[in-house]
Amino acid sequence: MKVFCGIDWASDHHDVALVDHEGTLLGRARIDDDATGLQQLLDLLTTHGDTEETPIPVAIETSRGLLVSCLRATGRPVYAINPMAAARYRERYAVARKKSDHLDAMVLANILRTDRAAHRPLPADSELVQSIAILARAQQDAVWDRIQAANKLRSHLREYFPGFLAAFAHSREGLCLPLARTILAAAPTPAQAARLTRSQLRSLVKKAGRKRGIDAEADRLREALRTPQMRHLLQVEQAMGLRTVALLRQLAATCESVEELTTATVESFDTHPDAEIITSFPGLGSLTGARVLAEIGDDRSRFTDAKGLKAFAGAAPVTRASGRSLSVMARRVKNQRLAAVGYLWAFSALSSPGARAHYDRRREAGERHAAAQRNLFNRLLGCLHHCLTNNVPYDESTAFPPPPLITLATAA
């Protein structure tokens, strides 16, 4: 007899329901979110035939948390059901639209009973990949936080200190540059910045880590910070300077987090067996490669073909057909993190002759820049799936073979 388990999770407790192949309720329980509750769940599963050879599958509406991690460690298949999909299934069992934790647990169990083939279990990734995923996602979040903090500070400086923004407008890093943060921390107002002497600026430039061109940079900053500009009243300017210091602390914290997480992510990624294959692709370094590996994992059974990987990344288009209506659109439901790094990957891969020629052909065919890059990302994902499956590095001539030569005899 086949048994299926559904868990409706919450922050402090979880409702569990077990059903058989006919949908009959075999057992139910409410467990706490602790080690005792986990043992109660395992005992309940064992009572209804759970063994190491034939583990009972579990459906739950999340893919994270200690409970999910412990269930995956037992080797059983765990299915993370989308809450929106679970809500549609609930209507099959509750016409009156009633809702309870026990009902939700039964609905999840019945999803596995009736439509298990339509859902995908959580991948059996290695411990190393799971740690890389945590670091890579944290690093990406830190980068986004850094951008947000820099935008807040830039917006504030534009209100009372536009001369400082002009002084570092040439730098790609902008306010995230260590020199910019060092100067702004020492002189957060136009009045204080204008009083900085040449020797003080030289000391600040050295403090920021500059090794060469110190005198020239000090002279440039002295001239830029003394450029006349519109000013607020003195007390208003001082108040805005205090707010600048507070925003600067937030920016400095995010910059430090990015550096630490970047180092940890790269070090962990370089120890993975797939790192050499992934970094053999044009446009993929250790950091972007870690982001790609974090999202696709190293469970080879997760994507049986390249088509599934492309759909997961949002590189494959969606076809919508109804009667005589047919439309091909970009995929919106996708792994947003993998799609984000895919844009960077495709852009950086344009340095490769084969990738550049592929992109140019798509552009000549009438596609816009974003569509051509997405198509290139689609092509690279197919190559990546092939290389990881067959454990071979990237080969330019295989990925982008030259067009066949048309001779005069063939044309005739």
Phi, psi dihedral angles at 79 (to 5 degrees) = -105, 120
Which residue range is the domain that position 170 belongs to?
Answer: 131-267
Give residue-wise pLDDT tens across range 125-166.
999 999 999 999 999 999 999 999 999 999 999 999 999 999
Closest CA to 64 of 47, 78, 77: 78
Examine residue 27 and state whether it is found in any structural domain, yes or no: yes
Alpha carbon distances (Å) from 220 to 142, 211, 335: 32, 16, 45
pLDDT category at 378 given cuts 50, 70, 90 is: very high
Is there a single domain that holds both residue 389 and residue 314?
A: yes
Spatial distance between the Cα atoms of 290 and 264, rounded to a whole number of angstroms: 11
Residues 6+ apart with CB under 8 A from 239: none
Spatial distance between the Cα atoms of 385 and 305, rounded to a whole number of angstroms: 8
Beta-strand pair 318-322/325-329: antiparallel
Examine residue 405 and state whether it is found in any structural domain, yes or no: no
Is there a single domain that holds both residue 155 and residue 52?
A: no
Alpha carbon 98 to its chain centroid, in Å, reads: 36
Examine residue 305 and state whether it is found in any structural domain, yes or no: yes
pLDDT category at 220 given cuts 50, 70, 90 is: very high
What's the predicted TM-score (pTM) here? 0.86
225, 243, 267 — which closes off a domain?
267
Give residue-wise pLDDT tens across range 26-65.
999 999 989 999 999 999 999 998 888 899 999 999 988 8
Handedness of CA 91, 111, 4, 62 (dihedral sign): negative
Is there a single domain that holds both residue 60 and residue 103?
A: yes
Spatial distance between the Cα atoms of 296 and 335, rounded to a whole number of angstroms: 10
Amino acid making up residue 49: G
**What's the alpha-carbon Rg for the chain, to the nearest Å?**
28
Count of the separate structural domains present in the chain: 3
